[in-house]
Structure 1
Amino acid sequence: MGESSHQLRFLAAICCEEALRTMGKQPYFFPLRGKFLVLFVLLITVPFVISGIFTYRKYAADVDRNTRESTLTIMEQMNLNLDRYVKDIDRLTQAPLYDQEMLNILTRYSGTYEPDLYLPLEVTGDINLFLSSFTSERTEIKGILIFTNNGGIFSSSANTVFRNWEPGGNEWMADVRAREGGLVIVPPHKANYYDFPLEVISIAREIVHPRTRTSLGIMKVDLSAEGFERVLSVVDFTPNSRFFIFNQDQLMVYPFHLIGDEKWSFKSVTRDTPDHIVSTVSSQYSKLSLVGHIPLEDLRQDAQELTTFTVIISVISLFVAYGIAVFISNRLVTPIRHLKGRMSLVQNGSFQAKASIIPNDEIGQLAIAFNTMVDELNRLVREVYETRIREREAELSALQSQINPHFLYNTLESINMLAMHNNQLQISDIVTSLGKLLRYTVEKSERPVTLKDELLFVDHYLQIQSFRLKNRLHTVIDVDPSCEDCLVPKLILHPLIENVIEHALHQKTVTLRVTAHFEEDDLFIQVIDDGVGMTANQVEEINRRINSRLPSQLEQDQFDKVRKGFGLKNVHQRLRILYGDRYGLFIESLVAEGSSFVIKIPV
């Protein structure tokens, strides 16, 4: 190919290289697919995160507010239940006021305290029977008692209660009398008037005669914690919630096991904590204060489960959205990658590469323009190449007409005869081989030659080189006779032989082997040597040079050794121009194991 063809190819390569450089070889290159992914991720994630944060905060605030309101409502309901329970017990303390016989008996024993008071059996039996009628189906009532002013005790549990009481150990009586007939809830205390002292909470009232307003004694109902537990368990609350009941003096009434512990005083229990909701409701009737400690963790458990479920669904949705984003970005970028790949092929000299027109958009229009450009480059290359071939043929014909080849042959024949006359047979052989080389290169006008003629040319060339190389080069030509009639381009083996002589011989004997064989419809001609070989980097550099589409002058300016590798490149480029990109020169080599050059052409 001539200088104009090289320039045209160079311009095409420059155009493609510039396009590829802008697409993928900038210093801070960021692929288009990555940009699409970043854009999609931002468009999906940022609104989702912002809306999620504000929604969660609003939801958490609403849950907290609703939780506190519902907790207060439940506490008020529990307080009503507690009032109802206290009222039921309080009715028992008022029962003697509506029984005239009971008032008469109590009036009889309303005198001053007598330590050794004796109560007649018939009196105690009637009153005890009256009191025991109120204890049916109330398992939490440990006893219903009437303490007379003169020291006697009437009880629903006569068998387990003493008949007399002593002022010592019954300090609660002073508080009851101070209320003058009002309801008194006595905090848990030891009741020492039982055979076995019991820990009870009591509801008591001083019995005041309705007409005379004189004190007849004290009626007292002793209760276990079971009644309060039943009242508090009516409402289904969280399992870790705790409830406390205090009387009007801020003394703990319930639960029993915490009474007396300063840690659980009214002030400490009603103090706010960061991890609990503390609600306090008070009863106007019983003067009791109900304090609830409800862990926020329990109240927010359902909300946390809903939040966790929402987060899981959101994360799954995000991954699905990201997958769709990846799919869409791939669909958008695939035509561009395809077009970039076609440009790379054109950059490497394959002007048959066409882009598939898939999308009906700007990228599709770009692919149409690219295909048009490739067609035009093909046409121009073909025209310039054919023009330069005709010019070279004309120049060769003109040269042949100016220099008569017979003059050269006659001169070489004269030198040959002189050498034979002086018995210089080696010189005669060299001159004879040189004449045959000249005759092959000058006189054979047809471009394709048989492989047999090409091998004869190589043999003459090696005869001349053997004079210079002595015994350092051994040659073996092992070609199947069926291959000798195949037509091959002229002078394709000579550059390979010359390359072996120039680079493989380094103070060692080298064996050069030339073989040829068929594989399907292709002919493979192989030139093998066992010389010094090449490294993988050297093989890669030679492959890069022989595949380069740079014009000859530019390549000469680029490399220090101007002509190094030019013969191999010319052979490779000629074969690709004649037969296509599937054919050409292929190189394999290992250090210290020699090199292998394979020519592949169609039969």
Structure 2
Amino acid sequence: MFKKPNAYIPLRYKLLSSYLLLVMTPVLVLGSYSYFTSVKSSEEHTRGNLEIAVRQIASNVDYRLSDVIRSSDDIFADQPLSRILSGYYLDYEKYTIMTQYILPKLESAANLPVLDAKLSVYLSNTNISEYYYISDFYYKDEMEKANSQGQETRGRQYSIYHLNRIENKPWYRSLSSAYDFKTWMQVEDDVTRGSISFLRPVINYDTLLPIGLIRMSAKLKDIFFDVDFTQLGDDSLLFVVNGSDELLYTSSLDEMNPNILTVAKNGFSGPPDRYMQIRQPIANMDAELVAWIPTSSFQENSQRVRNLTIWISLVSLIVLTAISWLVSRYFSKRFMKLIRSLKAFKEGDFHKRMVVPGNDEFSQIGDAFNDMASNMEKLIDEVYLSKLEKKEVELQVLHSQMNPHFLYNTFSSISRMAKLGEIDKMHEMVRALAKFYRLSLNKGEMIISIEKELQIIQSYIDIQKIKFADRIVAEYDIDEAALGYETIKFILQPFVENSIEHAWYDDEIHVRIRIALEGDDVVMQVEDNGIGMKEELVEQVLDPTEKGVGYGIRNVDQRIKLQFGKGCGVSIDSSIGEGTTVTIRFPKYVR
């Protein structure tokens, strides 16, 4: 019966027909997703920029605070100065100690490169005289006069006081007793002066007990001068709070909303309504930099993003946004068939074929693929068979290299017995040799059962016992379950021969043959109590590039790897004076 062929439909017509299937849903979904994603991205970008700005401000503050801390370290860590401040001096010594060491050290510490700070050292040692700021006592009138005229005045910014001035004050008594404590605190007149002080002890390094207190005071406006709300935009607020969430500093107190100020002064757990909060810890002080940014600042960007998204969605509708998804799905179904077929080839299923209905370009691809698959399967079969033949030849060559080695040694022993007139022993050895070759020849087959391989090695050991007059003690530890599997012929004999020929350590040598199953592997071991081998010699024996050392052992290792793969083979464990254990491992195998 005549069958009408399927009509050929070109791919371009299929594409044109798919363009007629436009729907609004993909556009709405993609548009909505783009809108919300863009708004969120815009907000995250804006917040990220603000966080960077706040971190930079906090970093600048930390830099100035670290300047104060480094300066106090010069006094705290100076052990010679500590001993001087702890000592007792006569009146004529005080002036020398004060002018030549103490005051220069304090002046050096007080002169900060970044901040104008005042250094005060309180000492429990009343033998050290007090020394005051110029602005505190002697020249107070002159300082006030200079300040009223707008002149900059910087007298001595350091002083020495006796500790009894402050030791009963609550703020001092609240300080930690640890020898290495340090803290920022507003003490004495700091609040009225708009300052804050860094406090840490003066230590007697012989006793590790405090002998005084270091106080470095700096103006808050000098420390936090770049905490300026104008850096974050209109209506934004920027201030510093201490560890108890109490307002410590702001540059815009008078311009803040009074209600918000009340919240900040009394402590707070979050920003007011319609404000976003960013908090950045200040590393060198128990305080945080807090920024409040009105959320209205994001609305303008959100509106622009919304309008842009709507415009893009409309254009996308016109230029066939949804069609792209449908067409890609149409193609993907057919391409997946090709991919599945290729994966089947990768996994070794060379019989897989690609069935594509219809009469178009995809059906042509399917036919071409099937033709290619048939050719590849044929070529793979041919190459595989040729490799098997090559592998069999290589095994035969390696095996043929082993038999003459043993035969030469045995004939040498028979010749020696003949010269010595040991006819009975020679007769017994010839019979044992005949039995050995009757077992090992095995009709020319390279693969034999493990049971037959065991019989071969037993015959070999019997021959050696005749040669060495029963000075060889052989033991066998055989798992009967392993005897039914198959192995390459003649793989135990080289290792037993190596033990008997080279491992003698005493009048007798003990050889133990072990055959067992371990999981999916067969494990054979030849163990002796001989002299053992050095690690370097073991490496040479197994090194395929070595020549003249361990030829028979490498021969066995190569034969196993050739038959069963590179993951199998021979390993040697040997210790000088303790003996050698050779392990042969290969997978369970039955033809």
TM-score tier after normalising by the smaller chain length: 0.3 to 0.5
- The answer to which structure, 1 or 2, has the higher relative contact order (CA under 8 A, 6+ apart) is 1
Larger radius of gyration: 1
- Normalising by structure 2, what TM-score? 0.35
- Normalising by structure 1, what TM-score? 0.35
